[in-house]
Amino acid sequence: MIDRRDMLELTRRMTPERSCFSRIAGAYMDADGFIDNTFNVHFLNLSQADKKSNLAIAKEIPFARTNEQLVEHRIPKSAQGPGSMYQLLTGIHDCGLKNDLLMEVLYEQIGKTYHADADYAIHVFHGIYDVPKKGSDGCEQWESEDVYDFLICAVSPLFADYETGKPEFGFLFPAFSNRCAYLDAVDIFTRDPEKPQQALTNLLLGKN
């Protein structure tokens, strides 16, 4: 189960003034799942307006209704081998989005799996959060207890002039549990739990 307090703690570091993101990459996809265009930039190089709009996209994932829209899924060891989605995500995570070839493989995998009625966008964020220690009273202290290095991915509808709507699907990898990384799990977001994106969920969990 996801602790709502963990997610709220994470989203508090997603503001233009104290953003935990180092880089953002993504692709604009057509309805057939083919890449129209891509981008890959250092987050601090964005304009203030672009920082704000992209942070709004990223925050939708951890700020979702925990254990309803956002659910933790364990990735079995059998789905973590060579050629797996887990290996791909780990590679993207370890390079901080700086390998364009790995990014394109991710976009292509999503494009083959996601069934869309119109064009859509994929945004991937790389973040680093110094998790502060908490005292016996529950208050945060200045010292860092751990470092949470993570990815957020959002799949969103795309409108005219590359205007992006709210994410329909996304994930947080690795999962954030007990205020630290849970390396064998992923937190998966679905905007409408009554209409789950099962094919994308299966892709992330190595069930395809």
- pLDDT at residue 135, as a whole number: 52
Lowest mean pLDDT among 80-84, 107-111, 127-131, 204-208: 204-208
Residue 81: phi and psi, rounded to 5, are: -85, -175
Q: What is the chain's mean pLDDT, rounded?
A: 93
- pLDDT at residue 138, as a whole number: 54
More confident residue, 142 or 85: 85
Q: Average pLDDT for residues 175-184, to the nearest whole number?
A: 93
Q: What percent of the chain clears pLDDT 90, i.e. is strictly above it?
A: 83
Residue 48 clears pLDDT 70, i.e. is over it: yes
Per residue in 92-110, pLDDT tens?
A: 999 999 999 999 999 999 9
Residue 140 clears pLDDT 90, i.e. is over it: no
Residue with tokens 């790389």: 126
Contact 190, 196 (CB under 8 A): yes
Distances (CA, A) of 83 to 88, 94, 97: 7, 16, 18
Contact 22, 43 (CB under 8 A): yes
Residue with tokens 């994410």: 167
- pLDDT at residue 17, as a whole number: 84
Lowest mean pLDDT among 6-20, 32-46, 48-62: 6-20
Per residue in 74-90, pLDDT tens?
A: 999 999 999 999 999 99
**What whole-number distance in Å separates Cα of residue 58 and Cα of residue 189?**
11
In terms of phi and psi (left: phi > 0; alpha: psi -120 to 50; beta: otherwise), the region of 2 is beta
Both tokens assigned to 155 = 């799949």
Look at residues 176, 180, 189, 186 and name the one whose alpha carbon lies nearest to residue 206: 186
Task: Name the residue ranges covered by the structural domains of the chain.
Answer: 4-204
Residue 144 clears pLDDT 80, i.e. is over it: no
Q: Average pLDDT for residues 68-72, to the nearest whole number?
A: 97
More confident residue, 13 or 170: 170
Instruction: Report residue 196's pLDDT band, with 50, 70 and 90 as the boundaries.
Output: confident
